[in-house]
Amino acid sequence: MLNKLTGRKKMSSPEAAEELQHEKIPSHIAIIMDGNGRWAKQRGLPRIAGHREGMNVIRNIVKACNNIGVDTLTLYAFSTENWKRPKQEVDFLMRLPERFLSVELPKLIEENVRVRITGELEKLPDYTKKAVNKAVDSTKHNSGLILNFALNYGSRSELMDAFKDIYEDVDKGLIKKEDITETTVTDYLMTSGLKEPDLLIRTSGEMRLSNFMLWQLAYAEFWFTDVLWPDFTQDNFHEAVKAYQKRQRRYGGV
Ligand code: IPE
Ligand code: IPE
Ligand code: MG
């Protein structure tokens, strides 16, 4: 069955979604999926149990995005600072893309989702790279939701690399210093080609960016919830979109 509003395959139709104003759906939603460790701790489980549970939530949120016609969903999965965690936890996190995609990739293909990765892939273990490259490659012709995983992503390092690349291209005479604009910087970032996020959601009660998309979020609307990521539901997601729809975006105007 097709969704009347989006023409996409209909995944689910929770009542909350029906209440949304369909002309004001955020085009790009970014989520800092936080609170897996605390979720596990509350249950006396090891932190990795929280990551496993959190992985299952992604499925529901992808469905919800597809259902309401979001263009791009960016999920912050691993930051450049997360390498500081205990080796056992990092190892588990590095295995997650493989685990997730071994089950979900066929469904993502079937749902016309295009997988994209934003982050420094070279530094990831081979099995992680292999899993994500396969997903990117086998969905590259899909035209539906862009599911963008921020994996080994850090905004400062991204900006620094962009500045270096711009400097190099000026040096080579490929661009002129006086021609550098905001669009130039945007185009040199890893997110080049993506729209900037309209709505940023962070779970688990933390109210900080943790080095996430500092440039791209300049005019995004922020929405925070105390709900821990493994407990985050489609209803919570719709609540965030509803709150977004009540915001007045002024971009410095009146
Ligand atoms: C988010 O949950 C997942 C990653 C950062 C990979 P956390 O692991 O940060 O969970 P808390 O914040 O410790 O509860
Ligand atoms: C941000 O969460 C990174 C991801 C969700 C992948 P963290 O849990 O790493 O952030 P801090 O350490 O609380 O700022
Ligand atoms: Mg955290």
Q: Return the domain boundaries, the chain.
A: 23-154+195-245
Active site residues: 34, 82
- Amino acid (one-letter) located at 2: L
Q: Are 67 and 13 in contact (CB under 8 A)?
A: yes
- Ligand 1 pocket, 33 CB below 6 A? yes
Q: Are 212 and 76 in contact (CB under 8 A)?
A: yes
Out of 11-25, 123-137, 181-195, which region has the weakest mean confidence (pLDDT)? 11-25
Going by the annotation, the residues of the binding site for substrate are 35-39, 47, 51, 79-81, 83, 85, 202, 208-210
Query: Does position 186 have pLDDT exceeding 90, yes or no?
Result: yes
Give Cα separations from 62 to 55, 88, 184, 211 (angstroms): 12, 28, 31, 24
Choices 3.40.50.1820, 3.40.309.10, 3.40.1180.10, 3.40.250.10: CATH for 23-154+195-245: 3.40.1180.10
**Ligand 2, atom 9, residue with closest C-alpha:** 82
- Ligand 2 pocket, 82 CB below 6 A? yes
Structure confidence by residue, pLDDT tens digits, 46-102: 999 999 999 999 999 999 999 999 999 999 999 999 999 999 999 999 999 999 999
Question: pTM for the whole thing?
Answer: 0.94
Cα of 208 from ligand 3 centre, angstroms: 11
Q: Are 121 and 94 in contact (CB under 8 A)?
A: no
Q: Residue 1: what pLDDT?
A: 45
Q: Rounded to an integer, what distance in angstroms lies between the CA atom of residue 18 and that of residue 21?
A: 8
Structure tokens at 211: 């080095």
Q: Which residues of 171-203 are buried (b: 16+ CB within 10 A; e: fewer)?
A: eeeeeeeeeeeeeeebebbbbeebebbbbbbbb
- 3-class SS string, 136-197: HHHCCCCCCCEEEEEEEECHHHHHHHHHHHHHHHHHCCCCCHHHCCHHHHHHHCCCCCCCCC
Q: Are 219 and 251 in contact (CB under 8 A)?
A: yes
Mean pLDDT of the chain: 95
Q: Rounded to an integer, what distance in angstroms lies between the CA atom of residue 92 and that of residue 79?
A: 14
